[in-house]
Amino acid sequence: MSYNSNTQPSRAPQNNALQAKGQANNGKPDDYVYFDRNLKEFSEGAMPKAQSAQLKLEHYYKIAVDSAVERNTRRVELERRLQNESMMSEERKNRQLQQLGKKESNFLRLKRTKLGLDDFRTVKVIGKGAFGEVRLVQKIDTGKIYAMKLLKKDEMLKKDQLAHVRAERDVLAESDSPWVVQLFYSFQDSAHLYLIMEFLPGGDLMTMLIKYDTFSEDVTRFYIAECVLAIEAVHNLGFIHRDIKPDNILIDKDGHIKLSDFGLSTGFHKQHDSSYYQRLLENGGNPPGHGNPSNARNSVMVNSINLTMTNKDQIATWKANRRKLAYSTVGTPDYIAPEIFLQKGYGKACDWWSLGAIMFECLVGYPPFCSENTHETYQKIMQWQNFLAFPDDVHLSREAEDLIRRLITSEDRRLSVEQIKKHYFFYGVDWDTIRRIDAPFVPHLRSITDTSYFPTDELDQTPDYSGADPNAASRDLAFLGYTFKRFPAP
């Protein structure tokens, strides 16, 4: 007590003095050090470097936290499943938990390993496009076969495709659906982005249509039904594909389909070739750089479509041009819904329009609005009420024609996925088991690297080996977070 009574009076004057100094320094201690936080004092390159470092650190720790959450989720799910296995011995349960632990360790080791182009051997180039190419490759250490999609970074930046590139990577990374091409790895170097996906040796639906012209209604029913389930799977992931066409419907070794090429999916603020079609709208429907529309072929009358497109030579010419369009920057608008061109917003229904156009082509031999050039095709799609016509020389059942008309119609009247499944064209389809039944066409493969169902003879087999760009480091921030490795490691 005496200690407190003696010391208390002596501390009070000191406290009062410190409080007075603090008030004089705006509440800060007397030894507070002031820093000038004026950003103008920094050099021009300092701020971008600081922002880059901040984003990289945020990404690093986000990935670390997300990975830990995913590991814990997998452990909890396995433990929950094992608890429900009343017939399984405790020893076997523990063995499965240990196996998961080994898988997780191997996966962490794989994630620390940096993949690159040198880890894969190119077998053949199986596709080329405006932004890169697709190769059949073999992973050197495991010998496994994959399809490698290369995308040129400079083209992605030049064509403002960043949102599309990331959308494709995100769809493939998030999907475990049997209806979507599986992504195993994604990585990048200074010149390219790389997607390592499963190789589907059956080619694509466009190649089959070019070869066989038309399908029977039974064969069409099979492929369209599988497409319905594939599109539904994409929609359930929260994405809209927006580029459903025969080129993007691939066929696996058993003859069943999977969707690919999600480069335009969910790109709501980046319309497909929007500036080009916007100019068409602004010019009253005339293609940019063209004169009076009377100089073009008259495509106003429905009869002119029938007369032109029922000629086998003309159809062959259109299909040859169709293949070239698949490799071009413009692409083909044959399967794109009109609301996408209007740039006024659209929803999942745009994919069902595309499916209707594909169904029409399967049964008739060409898409409903195809023309000799993309400008006329666009105009016909925008005036679809005047140009949707079924040729007299092709017999379709009432069910088939009705389904097509309920898909190729205004957005508000288009069928939903539930209504499509209940349509009488699909009478007898078992939606739950269709992927387990025999497909109408099963590719005959000579080896695991058989590419006979791809038009490789038309392609330059010189792989793209663009040199490294010394200025790439400054732009790589745009592709931050592109790397992906699937669990479990294939």
In the annotated binding site for ATP, the residues are: 149
Cα(259)–Cα(205) distance, integer angstroms: 11
| Dihedral angle computed from the Cα positions of residues 231, 235, 239 and 243, in that order, rounded to the nearest 10 degrees | 20
Cα(242)–Cα(335) distance, integer angstroms: 9
* SS3 assignment, position 137: strand
Cα(398)–Cα(478) distance, integer angstroms: 51
> Phi and psi (nearest 5°) for 190?
-70, -20
Cα(193)–Cα(184) distance, integer angstroms: 14
> Phi and psi (nearest 5°) for 440?
-70, -25
Angle of helix 312-326 relative to helix 302-309, nearest 10 degrees, comes to 90
Token pair 């200690």 in the structure block, residue: 3
User: Catalytic one among 243, 261, 273, 351?
Assistant: 243
Asked about 243 being catalytic, the answer comes back as yes
Cis peptide bond upstream of 48, omega within 30: no
Is 249:257 a contact under the CB 8 Å cutoff? Answer: yes
Q: Which residues pair with 146 in a beta bridge?
A: 137
Catalogue the active-site residues. Answer: 243
